Structure 1
Amino acid sequence: MKLTGAVAIVTGASSGIGRATALDLARQGASVALVARRQDRLDALVSEINEIGGTALAVPTDIADRAQAFAAVAATVERFGRLDMLINNAGLMILGRVQDADIDDWDRMIAINQQGLMAMTKAALPHLLDAARGDRQVADIVNVSSVAGRMTFPTAGPYSLTKFGVNGFTEALRQELAGQKVRVGVLEPGKVDTELDSHNNDEILAHIEENFGGFRMLDPQDIADGITFMVTRPAHAAIAELWAMPSAQA
């Protein structure tokens, strides 16, 4: 399904999966609102999208702040007049054993991975429902979760809590919107070569290197390909769940 004339919001668009997805959707013809905290990176990505003939809007936002999340959606609709796709990609992963953890880190993950995602969804939903009744006859929500949302391991307890929650929220919303032409799907990546690890301490980083340094990780583009696949299906077809892993990890 062509995306010409459609409008997408991508959260976490300043790097990694979000950046690759924004570029991909722009190449497919969508106008893209880039939502993240780092203004300089968003401005650079707007320029890059313009250079390939696309259209993008930088919307500097901390989605953990509910008011900012709602304002980002409002700014997008004010600029482009509609909203057809919401890609909830922004996320934070801070690993560590529960007994040693800083509870403030848990609060930060919950604020971004769950509350931010839900605020963006709540703000976007009326516009997505309007779009689904319009010319394209379909709209999309894609929530980027993690394999840690379907299995867990030591040091990942709080992070897995947030991603198991994303999976549950996504499935409930999918059922609520069934029949209203808003498709809701979740994509669960395995290990991807992004900045996600960078918030962890040296001990955790060494542990990650020990476990994942010996094989080829996924590239952000691999996940962007999956997201683009989900939102370009014909209007009668929906992808509810996509699990993408490095071959060596699977």
Structure 2
Amino acid sequence: MTQTETPPPVDMTNRSGVITGAGSGIGRALAEQFGRRGARLLLVGRREQALRETASAVARAGGAAEVLDVDITAVGAAEKVADTARTVLHRVDLLINNAGNVSAGRLEDCDVADVRAMVDLNLTAPILLTRALLPDLRAAAQPERSAGMGGPGRRRGSIVLGISSGAALVPLPFYATYAATKTGLAAFGHALRRELYGTGVHVATSYPGATATAMMDSSTAGEDLGFGRRPVEEVVTELLDALGRAEHEINTSQPTRRAMQRLHASDPLAVDAALAPRLSELDATVRHHRSI
């Protein structure tokens, strides 16, 4: 395939894989939608009851799910998840690194433990989990080289999806550490995609803007400050449609935020000037935004 050719769509049915942060929000919605496509999943998170509720939703949708209650930032957790996935799924052709947390506010006021928690969960954990499962993802991708796999004109292969954030496209004040971790996750996706070129492993990164999930509940910033929430099902449907089209960079931000993203790409100092008059207001509305 040359650089200008459009890649064939990705077969999204009957996937077998791991979703982290699957107890609520985007993770739960992703699990349900893959369930509708016949997936068998290992749902990973720290709240067993919430994971079981997601597993029930997956089953009602037509899929199947096992749960693993584990802190993926703990030493050895990536290997535990990988070993469990091999045992209960047998085949792993899907990995969604969705788990994340946030603690906003002025950097000098941010607790050191919160800084470390964001780096550990948003960046270190997905890198280590991807590393642990990569042999399985590579192995599962091999059949796509055979004729007929995935149906006419469709690729099977494996999928690695990282849930980054719109904060990686336009890093905002009072979210310095969070933006750093999400930008790092996006860069990880770019590098890994290039590393795995031609292996049949499709690496994609999603950039959701503000989404109506529990993670956003402690922020009072609204549409006037660029934090208008989109419904989670709408965001996930758009994300999976793009993933099925074999897109690698999937932006689900609101149109107003996309305009700022374009400005940041062309003239970042103009974004500084645009935000400056409302810095105090933004500070007041996000300083208690915390999901750790």
With normalisation by structure 2, the TM-score equals 0.76
Amino acid at match of 2:119: I
Amino acid at match of 1:90: A
Is the aligned partner of 1:25 residue 2:34?
Answer: yes
Deviations 1:38-95, CA, capped at 9 Å, x for gaps: 0001112212222333211111121111412221121112112100110111101111
Secondary structure in structure 2 of the residue aligned to 1:29: coil
Query: Distance in 2 between the 1:53 and 1:206 partners?
Result: 37
What residue number does 2:186 align with? 167
Rg larger in 1 or in 2?
2
Q: RMSD across aligned C-alpha pairs, in angstroms?
A: 2.0
What residue number does 2:248 align with? 240
Amino acid at match of 1:127: D
Amino acid at match of 1:223: V
Specify whether residues 53 and 240 from structure 1 end up closer, same or farther in structure 2 by C-alpha distance, changes over 3 A only: closer
Deviations 1:181-207, CA, capped at 9 Å, x for gaps: 101111001110112235x6xxxx345
Is the aligned partner of 1:47 residue 2:66?
Answer: no
What residue number does 2:99 align with? 90
TM alignment of 1:17-166, pairs within 5 A: 17-134=26-143, 136=149, 137-166=156-185
Q: Quick one: percent identity of the two aligned structures? A: 30
Deviation at 1:225, TM superposition (A): 1.6
What residue number does 1:211 align with? 225
Secondary structure in structure 2 of the residue aligned to 1:9: strand
What residue number does 2:216 align with? 197
Amino acid at match of 1:37: R
Deviation at 1:153, TM superposition (A): 1.9
Query: Distance in 2 between the 1:189 and 1:44 partners?
Result: 24
Query: Distance in 1 between the 2:72 and 2:238 partners?
Result: 23
> Quick check: 1:66–1:116 contact (8 Å CA) kept in 2?
no
> Quick check: 1:61–1:69 contact (8 Å CA) kept in 2?
no
> Quick check: 2:168–2:179 contact (8 Å CA) kept in 1?
yes
Secondary structure in structure 2 of the residue aligned to 1:133: helix
Deviation at 1:126, TM superposition (A): 0.6
Which structure 1 segments of 5+ residues have no match?
Answer: none
With normalisation by structure 1, the TM-score equals 0.88
Secondary structure in structure 2 of the residue aligned to 1:134: helix
**Worse-superposed segment, 22-31 or 131-140:** 131-140
Specify whether residues 102 and 243 from structure 1 end up closer, same or farther in structure 2 by C-alpha distance, changes over 3 A only: same
- For these two proteins, the number of residue pairs brought into alignment is 239
Query: Distance in 1 between the 2:54 and 2:166 partners?
Result: 28
Specify whether residues 29 and 2 from structure 1 end up closer, same or farther in structure 2 by C-alpha distance, changes over 3 A only: farther
